[in-house]
Amino acid sequence: MLNNAAMIIAGTVVGSAGSLLTQLMAKAMNRSLGNELFSGFGDSSGGSTGDVTGSMKAIEATDVGVMMAFARKVIIVPGYGMAVAQAQHKVWELTQLLVDRGVDVKFAIHPVAGRMPGHMNVLLAEAGVPYDRIYDLEEINADFDSADIALVIGANDVVNPVARTDPSSPIFGMPILNADKAQNCVVIKRGQGAGFSGIENALFFLDNTRMLYGDGQAATADLIQAVKEL
Ligand code: NAP
């Protein structure tokens, strides 16, 4: 292989691209490159698992449909679960229904949401979501304070408030999307599954958070139905 220039060039390109992506991830998570490579992030056997007291409160799709249809401002936070569920097309259909009713709907994208940089942007672009509805973390984080609803679809670590408060947490110091600051937060996920970091999410236990349990695509389809029936 060492005598084959094409293999050496291809290997160099792949290696540089990998290093660049790792560097981007480290920056997005407020970590040094060494910490990113060797800390074992994602291995829940070490560090605090973020035990949280209280309970998660479930909600039905019909109730979320009413809340959203009569909201002024909704911010959607997609995460890895939206990719697993391939829910992006339904999410865009829901968005269009809400926009037609006069609701201001924006998408908030965390730089490490999903499993590769730009994962959510690619999925939303594929579904036809226009770029001017999609905002990066720094652009939108201040907006959560004035949002009626933060709709979290299959995101977990990127909205976990312990990143701000618990120094023993493996995600401490990582910038997060301020979904907890919205007046109401609705989280779509299948059950009690942890995110990539393997820790509990304090957001799910807050008084202003409700859990809409189900697969991302099916739950979003239920929301579409609920809004259409109003
Ligand atoms: P996450 O923390 O991995 O959480 C994803 C959540 O989606 C899970 O809690 C899971 O809960 C839910 N889920 C899975 N399948 C679902 C489905 N079909 N329908 C609905 N929900 C579903 O995701 P994230 O908030 O996007 O965070 C990304 C994580 O990956 C970060 O920790 C980041 O550091 C890490 N990471 C990112 C990259 C990158 O470049 N973007 C690369 C490597 C690692 P249930 O099981 O209960 O449904």
Q: What is the pTM of this model?
A: 0.90
Rounded distance from Cα 78 to ligand 1 centre (Å): 9
Angle at 156 between CA 197 and CA 124, to 5 degrees: 120
Report DSSP state, residue 221: H
For residue 201, list its beta bridge partners: none
Q: Which residues are catalytic?
A: 157
Give the whole-number percent of the chain exceeding pLDDT 70: 91
Does residue 45 surpass a pLDDT of 60?
Answer: no
Does residue 53 surpass a pLDDT of 70?
Answer: yes
Rounded distance from Cα 128 to ligand 1 centre (Å): 22
210 lines ligand 1 (CB under 6 A): no
Angle at 148 between CA 147 and CA 149, to 5 degrees: 90
* Closest approach atom of ligand 1 to CA 111: 41
Sequence-distant (≥ 6) Cβ neighbours of residue 114 within 8 angstroms: 79, 80, 83, 120, 123
When mean pLDDT is compared across 13-22, 25-34, 124-133, the lowest value belongs to 25-34
* Closest approach atom of ligand 1 to CA 158: 25
When mean pLDDT is compared across 13-22, 36-45, 67-76, 101-110, the lowest value belongs to 36-45
Residue nearest to atom 38 of ligand 1 (CA): 115
What span, in angstroms and rounded, lies between the C-alpha atoms of 70 and 156?
Answer: 26
CA nearest to 185, candidates 212, 229, 151: 151
Does residue 47 surpass a pLDDT of 80?
Answer: no
Predicted confidence at residue 21, as pLDDT, reads 82
Rounded distance from Cα 155 to ligand 1 centre (Å): 5
Q: Among 27, 136, 189, say which to mutate for ligand 1: greatest number of ligand atoms within 8 Å of CB.
A: 189
The chain-wide mean pLDDT, for the chain, equals 91
Strand 149-153, strand 104-109: pairing: unpaired
Rounded distance from Cα 209 to ligand 1 centre (Å): 18
Q: In this predicted model, what pLDDT tens digit does every residue of 84-116 receive, in sequence order? A: 999 999 999 999 999 999 999 999 999 999 998
Q: In this predicted model, what pLDDT tens digit does every residue of 136-162 receive, in sequence order? A: 999 999 999 999 999 999 999 999 999
Predicted confidence at residue 49, as pLDDT, reads 61
Buried (b) or exposed (e) across 126-161, using 16+ Cβ within 10 A?
A: ebebeeeebbebeebbebbeebbbbbbbbbbbbbbb
What span, in angstroms and rounded, lies between the C-alpha atoms of 201 and 60?
Answer: 21
Q: In this predicted model, what pLDDT tens digit does every residue of 182-214 receive, in sequence order? A: 999 999 999 999 999 999 999 999 999 999 999
Q: Torsions phi, psi of 192, nearest 5?
A: -100, 15
